[in-house]
């Protein structure tokens, strides 16, 4: 039977990670071009950098939940054998999809956090073209939040299918390994 405590803990970690990713999307850095006091050059001024912290927090919480699921399921490849059948087949499929969604979510959160923390440091003199005040694109953290949601659903179903396949395993098909001699008395 799947551990309800583990499923609740993973769900809570993923829910907090989802909330942080949504908050990071809402609070991502914005910039504006500003003239200096003598109007000799222009430069970029960035507002709050809190989205980087939110993105890193979501990244770490999602990582922790994935580690918990993989530790509990022994990363699917270690531990006792799973019984053949539908639960094992679904566990294999969901294991692959879970890792795919996890990698995409982590990549979005990581790239968004790095890009949000990057601030251009150059200026332009004598009214040349204004500097490029680069910021993270809209939707990067939102994509991370969406894939956190998908990872949550798939990892929970993966662990349930894995647990069912592990619990129903019976060596030798449930029969004795030897030749039955009870009827030959």
Task: List the alpha helices (DSSP H) in 32-174.
Answer: 50-72, 86-117, 140-167
Percent of the chain with pLDDT over 70: 78
SS3 32: strand
pLDDT at 125: 60
Q: Residue 169 — very low, low, confident or very high, per pLDDT cuts 50/70/90?
A: low
Neighbours of 48 (CB within 10 A): 11
Report the distance separating Cα 12 and Cα 72, nearest Å.
16
Task: With H, G, I as helix, E, B as strand and everything else as coil, classify residue 159.
Answer: helix
Match 């200026």 to its residue by tokens. 123
Question: Which whole number is the average pLDDT over 57-73?
Answer: 94
What's the pLDDT tens digit per position in 135-163?
A: 667 888 999 999 999 999 999 999 998 88
Smallest Cα–Cα separation from 71: which of 167, 155, 154? Answer: 155
pLDDT tens digits for range 82-112:
777 888 889 889 999 999 999 999 999 999 8
Is the separation of the CB atoms in 65 and 6 below 8 Å?
A: no
DSSP 75: G
Give the CA radius of gyration of the chain: 26
Nearest alpha carbon to residue 146 among 76, 62, 86:
62
Strand, coil or helix: 41: strand
């Amino acid at each position: 039977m799947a551990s309800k405590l583990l499923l609740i803990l993973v769900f809570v970690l993923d829910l907090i990670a989802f909330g942080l990713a949504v908050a990071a999307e809402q609070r991502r850095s914005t910039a504006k071009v500003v003239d200096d006091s003598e109007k000799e050059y222009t430069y970029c001024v960035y507002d709050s950098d809190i989205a980087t912290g939110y993105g890193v927090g979501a990244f770490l919480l999602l990582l922790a939940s994935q580690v918990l699921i993989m530790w509990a399921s022994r990363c699917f490849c270690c531990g006792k054998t799973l019984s053949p059948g539908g639960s094992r087949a679904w566990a294999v499929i969901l294991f692959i999809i879970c890792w795919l969604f996890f990698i995409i979510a982590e990549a979005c959160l990581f790239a968004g956090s790095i890009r949000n923390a990057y601030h251009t440091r150059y200026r332009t003199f004598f009214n040349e073209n204004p500097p490029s005040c680069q910021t993270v694109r809209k939707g990067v953290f939102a994509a991370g939040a969406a894939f956190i949601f998908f990872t949550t659903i798939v990892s929970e179903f993966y662990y349930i299918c894995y647990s069912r396949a592990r619990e129903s395993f019976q060596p030798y098909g449930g029969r004795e390994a030897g030749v039955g001699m009870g009827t030959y008395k």
